[in-house]
Amino acid sequence: MTDAPASVSNDGGALRVLVWNEGVHERRNEPPTMERDYPQGIHGAIADALEARLPGARIATATLADPEHGLVESVLEQTDVLLWWGHVAHDEVSDEVVARVQRHVLAGMGFVVLHSGHHSKPFRALMGTTCNLRWRNAGERELVWTVDPTHPIARGIPSPIVIPAQEMYGEQFDIPKPDDLVFVSSFAGGEVFRSGATWTRGRGRIFYFSPGDQEYPVYRQAEIGDVLANGVRWVAQPDVPRAVVPVENPAEGWFAGA
């Protein structure tokens, strides 16, 4: 594997965002509502939502079927924020690509993980836990409550966001304690879930946001697009040179003469 360069910077240019999606449901047209709800794929719907809210940003998409899943070294070097949607093909993601994504996050690339991406290899690698949770898919109403209205990701977001039908995710959610808990969801069946949380790993910022199952047109809701755009803005650090913290052995006692 080729090591990342010591420093990668956007030099003040346009924000560079890559929306990654397995693309498996789209190829299978599964569920049958996929073609109606997401005619350009889930990645296309997310990209459209971001383009409408992030003027001047460069939004690209990639899928599992692309060479090296569209996540070659040169692409990640030029990506400020990577969004990840996965569901049924986590095991098909190359371990080499996973290590590459993890390395770039640790070096400062922003990472937004969506819905069933909680079980994706990169998220699990960065969290160090199973990321397991409770779930039930009965098309229940979800209410997304803002629990930290001072966080930049919550700026301008109504509380609650009302999602008419969605897959239920519930606690316990096996994740490390978040740095910030921004949103908590409640469901018609009575469950609650930490649906919007952040972490810092190395120099990189991570935002997990759960609403967005393939069976429901959640990514077409305006409020969801607003959350995603806020999340991208928050995890992005385009003016910070990307660098992995080195292992160093200073010459004996650099402080000796102090």
Distance of CA 8 to the CA centre of its chain: 21
Which pLDDT score, from 0 to 100, does residue 10 have?
Answer: 55
Residue ranges per domain, the chain?
16-131+195-235
Distance, CA of 132 to CA of 174 (rounded, Å): 5
Give the model confidence (pLDDT) of 88-110 as tens digits.
Answer: 999 999 999 999 999 999 999 99
Sequence-separated (6 or more) residues with CB below 8 Å from residue 184: 144, 145, 147, 192, 193, 194, 195, 196
Tokens standing for 106?
Answer: 């640790």
The whole-model pTM stands at 0.91
Residue (of 53, 54, 47, 55) closest to 82 by Cα position? 47
Q: Does the pLDDT at position 228 exceed 90?
A: yes
Contacts 24+ apart (CB under 8 A), 28-36: 31/214, 31/215, 33/215, 33/217, 34/214
Tell me, what DSSP letter sits at residue 242?
Answer: B
Under CATH, which number does the domain 16-131+195-235 receive? 3.40.50.880
Average pLDDT over all residues of the chain: 91
Q: Does the pLDDT at position 249 exceed 90?
A: no
Give the model confidence (pLDDT) of 140-164 as tens digits.
Answer: 999 999 999 999 999 999 999 999 9
Q: Sign of the C-alpha dihedral, residues 165, 171, 176, 177?
A: positive
Q: Does the pLDDT at position 196 exceed 70?
A: yes
Q: Does the pLDDT at position 2 exceed 80?
A: no
Distance, CA of 51 to CA of 45 (rounded, Å): 10
Give the model confidence (pLDDT) of 39-81 as tens digits.
Answer: 999 999 999 999 999 999 999 999 999 999 999 999 999 999 9
Q: Does the pLDDT at position 236 exceed 90?
A: yes
Q: In this structure, how many other beta carbons lie within 10 angstroms of the beta carbon of residue 140?
A: 17
pLDDT-wise least confident of 15-24, 27-36, 69-78, 189-198? 27-36
Which pLDDT score, from 0 to 100, does residue 34 have?
Answer: 87
Distance, CA of 153 to CA of 234 (rounded, Å): 7
Judge residue 24's burial from the number of C-beta atoms within 10 Å of its C-beta, 0-12 exposed, 13-18 middle, 19 or more buried: middle
252 pLDDT band (50/70/90 cuts)? low
Distance, CA of 47 to CA of 53 (rounded, Å): 10
